[in-house]
């Protein structure tokens, strides 16, 4: 697993992909910071975090589109699948490599916290809670993106399909406040990645919601493992 | 070492391989010979655990590939048809990655990688980006990858495809040397390759093993037909008349005008007759010099047809020896005259998609 993790992480930065991802992520985040904090002179960073959650819709597909598609295309999946590594090791290696690139991008946003801390008094507890929540939420996006990538050998298809699914989740979130039926509300609450974030937005660290994100990530990692194992039977 | 029992794999309705069984002993070099699409790659992919068979089992050193894949895969070095290379890495980075991936523990990393690079001739390209390497060198990196960790079993899918004649000889020698203390299965659709490297040949066609034999016996079969191409300098019609007048000649016809004033003739002898000497004397008497003489080798397709026929016969006689052809030839023409062309042929034929690769004809074109 560690060999695949290291290779993929290196792969992100030996091609423009890792840099494009970090750049796109930071452009969105710094614009959000500029508008919500600098221009309006507020010291509360929570809006930046919720913008981050929407920004992930666009940037995560860049990150995950090639995880498996590239291997299928170059036939290196054959190498991975005939090496003494379990399918779960392959998937986790790639998943954590993508997550690490996200964390590298996220690390740059700490500058915003430092800026706010220099001129005001941000609620550090809320900031840390939000960081943890955003990482957990991003891991769901990444797990879904990796899963989609494992289904196709075309990177573009993987990127667009991931984007489509993320937008679909977003639309379901919008419709939450529009529907009346309780059962439908309950389902939408379960599917929506954004409702769950509200508690963090309000400054509460909800263990239940944190584990919700982790479990959904685990489900998609598991599905990806199944896809790889199923390939043998094709 | 490798034990395969009645493997069957279907792709939808199409049958990939059909009840393939064989055993490879430790230290053997076994060649899979067959046209494209015969099931060579499928069989190899199943042995290496990349694909699963619909039925049957493959065991490596007693370990079932399906039951304990990690343990079985540790014993195997696999070079797939298309070498699985990360183009954005240098050779050094890539081989180090493979070293980690294969969980090699008991070998010194640097020394081991240097030894392998030395062996496959990559030392000068160690620091280069794989993307920038030529096809031949990419193939070498693929081979190096398979060798890392000194696996007991090597599975090589068409290891010499895309190499130039000099490289082909080099790589064949490397494989031969490796075979001294390893079990190797390699696949090819080039007849000469099998006789150059392998101690045993499994001929696969349409997903079934049609022959399991030593290459010597197979090459006797190759020259089983008495067909010759002869290039003679002289007017076409009169040369043909002379050729037809030779005792034992069944058929003679001009094929192409090879050079100015000389023609290639396809000559077929009656069974069990060596017509070369009388043909030479006859042409010499008439004053038409022979410029070139060689045996027409059979194409793979022809051999399969022969093998299948032999197999049918052996069923009738219910003798396992029945599929071995009786070699009653006086001289093996193909080995003496076309040995120099052997290593050129793969280069010429490498990009052909059709399974029928008539080696002798491509020889003619290159010279």
The per-residue pLDDT for range B71-99, each reduced to its tens digit, is: 999 999 999 989 999 999 999 999 999 99
Q: How confident is the model over B124-130, as a mean pLDDT? A: 92
pLDDT range class, residue B37, cuts 50, 70, 90: confident
Contact (Cβ atoms closer than 8 angstroms) between residue B31 and residue B198: yes
B93 at A interface, C-beta within 8 A: yes
The per-residue pLDDT for range B267-294, each reduced to its tens digit, is: 888 877 778 888 889 989 989 999 888 8
The CATH 3.40.50.300 portion of chain B extends over 2-75+152-221
Which residue, among B107, B160, B135, B187, has the nearest Cα to B344 in the 3D structure?
A: B160
Q: What letter would DSSP give residue A204?
A: -
How does the average pLDDT of chain A come out, rounded? 90
> Token digits for A75?
């036939």
A80 at B interface, C-beta within 8 A: yes
Check residue B311 and give its pLDDT.
64
Choose the closest CB to B84 out of A15, A75, A86: A75
> Token digits for B305?
């047809």
Contact (Cβ atoms closer than 8 angstroms) between residue B43 and residue B20: yes
Q: Do A75 and B102 touch (CB under 8 A)?
A: no
The per-residue pLDDT for range A56-100, each reduced to its tens digit, is: 999 999 999 999 999 999 999 999 999 999 999 999 999 999 999
Please, is B318 exposed, middle or buried when counting C-beta atoms within 10 Å of its C-beta (0-12, 13-18, 19+)? exposed
**Lowest pLDDT segment from A114-123, B60-69, B342-351:** B342-351
pLDDT range class, residue B367, cuts 50, 70, 90: very low
A83: chain B residues, CB-CB within 8 Å: 73, 98, 101-102
Choose the closest CB to B50 out of A4, A14, A78: A78
The per-residue pLDDT for range B189-225, each reduced to its tens digit, is: 777 788 788 888 888 888 888 888 887 776 666 555 5
Helix axes B109-120, B91-101, angle to 10 degrees: 120
Q: How confident is the model over B345-351, as a mean pLDDT? A: 40
| Mutation site for A-interface testing, chosen from B63, B85, B98, B101 by largest number of A Cβ within 10 Å | B101
pLDDT range class, residue A175, cuts 50, 70, 90: confident
Tokens 């080995």 belong to residue: B335
| Mutation site for A-interface testing, chosen from B46, B74, B86 by largest number of A Cβ within 10 Å | B86
Partners of B58 in the β-ladder: B4
Check residue B315 and give its pLDDT.
60
Choose the closest CB to A7 out of B73, B86, B102: B86
- Least CA distance to B104: which residue of chain A? A84
By DSSP bridging, strand B183-188 and strand B63-64 are unpaired
The per-residue pLDDT for range B143-189, each reduced to its tens digit, is: 999 999 999 999 999 888 877 888 888 888 888 888 888 899 999 87
Check residue B222 and give its pLDDT.
56
The per-residue pLDDT for range B252-271, each reduced to its tens digit, is: 888 888 788 888 888 888 87
Q: Do B85 and A76 touch (CB under 8 A)?
A: yes
How far is it, in rounded angstroms, from Cα B362 to Cα B160?
18
How far is it, in rounded angstroms, from Cα B218 to Cα B199?
11
**Interface list for B 42-61 with A (CB within 8 A):** 45, 48-52
DSSP characters over B103-122:
T--SS-HHHHHHHHHHHHT-
Q: Say whether pLDDT at B334 is over 60.
A: no
| Mutation site for B-interface testing, chosen from A79, A153, A229 by largest number of B Cβ within 10 Å | A79
CATH topology of domain B225-296: Alpha-Beta Plaits (3.30.70)
Query: Between A226 and B120, whose confidence is greater?
Result: A226
pTM: 0.80
**Angle subtended at Cα B187 by Cα B7 and Cα B36, rounded to the nearest 5 degrees:** 80
Count other Cβ atoms within 10 Å, centred on residue A177. 9
B78: chain A residues, CB-CB within 8 Å: 78, 82
The per-residue pLDDT for range A180-205, each reduced to its tens digit, is: 888 888 888 888 888 888 888 777 88
Q: Say whether pLDDT at B333 is over 80.
A: no
CATH topology of domain B2-75+152-221: Rossmann fold (3.40.50)
Global ipTM: 0.88
| Mutation site for B-interface testing, chosen from A14, A69, A78 by largest number of B Cβ within 10 Å | A78
A13: chain B residues, CB-CB within 8 Å: none
The CATH 3.30.70.260 portion of chain B extends over 225-296
By DSSP bridging, strand B2-11 and strand B55-60 are antiparallel
A1: chain B residues, CB-CB within 8 Å: none
How far is it, in rounded angstroms, from Cα B244 to Cα B254?
11
How does the average pLDDT of chain B come out, rounded? 79
């Amino acid at each position: 697993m560690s060999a695949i993790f290291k290779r993929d992480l290196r792969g992100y930065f030996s091609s423009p992909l890792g840099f494009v991802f970090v750049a796109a992520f930071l452009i969105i985040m710094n614009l959000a910071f500029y508008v919500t904090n600098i221009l309006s002179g507020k010291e509360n960073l929570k809006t930046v975090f919720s913008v981050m959650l929407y920004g992930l819709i666009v940037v995560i597909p860049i990150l995950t589109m090639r995880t498996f598609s590239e291997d299928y295309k170059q036939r290196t999946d054959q190498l991975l699948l005939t090496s003494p590594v379990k399918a779960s090791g392959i998937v986790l290696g790639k998943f954590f490599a993508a997550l690490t690139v996200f964390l590298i991008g996220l690390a740059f946003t700490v500058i915003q916290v430092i800026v706010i801390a220099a001129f005001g008094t941000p609620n550090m507890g809320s900031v840390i809670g939000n960081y943890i929540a955003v990482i957990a939420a991003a891991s769901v996006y990444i797990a879904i993106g990796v899963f989609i990538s494992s289904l196709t050998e075309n990177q573009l298809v993987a990127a667009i399909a991931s984007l489509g699914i993320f937008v679909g989740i977003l639309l379901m979130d919008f419709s939450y406040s529009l529907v009346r039926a309780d059962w439908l509300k309950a389902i939408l609450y379960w599917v929506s990645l954004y409702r769950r974030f509200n508690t963090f937005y309000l400054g509460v660290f909800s263990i239940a919601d944190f584990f919700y994100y982790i479990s959904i990530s685990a489900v998609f990692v598991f599905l990806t493992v199944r896809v790889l194992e199923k390939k043998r039977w094709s | 070492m490798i034990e395969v029992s009645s493997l069957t794999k279907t792709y939808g309705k199409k049958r990939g391989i059909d009840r393939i069984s064989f055993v490879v002993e430790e230290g053997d070099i076994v060649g899979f010979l067959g046209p494209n699409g015969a099931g060579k790659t499928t069989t190899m992919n199943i042995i290496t655990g990349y694909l699963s068979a619909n039925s049957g089992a493959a065991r490596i050193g007693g370990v079932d590939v399906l039951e304990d894949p990690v343990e079985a895969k540790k014993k195997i070095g696999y070079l797939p048809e298309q070498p699985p290379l990360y183009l954005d890495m240098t050779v050094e980075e890539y081989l180090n990655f493979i070293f980690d991936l294969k969980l090699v523990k008991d070998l010194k990393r640097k020394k081991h990688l240097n030894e392998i690079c030395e062996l496959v001739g990559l030392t000068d390209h160690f620091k280069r980006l794989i993307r920038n390497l030529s096809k031949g060198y990419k193939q070498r990196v693929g081979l190096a990858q398979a060798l890392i960790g000194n696996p007991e079993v090597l599975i090589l899918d068409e290891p010499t495809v895309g190499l130039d004649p000099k490289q082909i000889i080099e790589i064949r020698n490397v494989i031969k040397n490796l075979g001294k203390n390893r079990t190797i299965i390699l696949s090819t659709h080039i007849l000469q390759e099998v006789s150059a490297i392998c101690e045993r040949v499994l001929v696969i066609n349409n997903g079934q093993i049609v022959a399991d034999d030593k290459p010597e016996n197979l090459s006797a079969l190759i020259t089983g037909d008495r067909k010759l191409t002869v290039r003679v300098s002289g007017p076409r019609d009169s040369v043909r008349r002379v050729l037809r007048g030779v005792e034992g000649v069944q058929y003679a016809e001009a094929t192409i005008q090879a050079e100015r004033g000389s023609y290639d003739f396809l000559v077929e002898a009656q069974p069990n007759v060596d017509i070369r000497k009388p043909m030479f004397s006859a042409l010499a008497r008439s004053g038409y010099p022979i410029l070139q003489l060689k045996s027409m080798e059979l194409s793979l397709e022809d051999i399969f047809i022969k093998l299948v026929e032999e197999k049918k016969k052996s069923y009738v006689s219910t003798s396992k020896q029945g599929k071995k052809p009786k070699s009653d030839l006086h001289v093996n023409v193909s080995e003496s005259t076309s040995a120099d062309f052997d290593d050129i042929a793969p280069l010429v034929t490498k990009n052909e998609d059709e399974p029928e690769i008539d080696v002798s004809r491509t020889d003619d074109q290159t010279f």
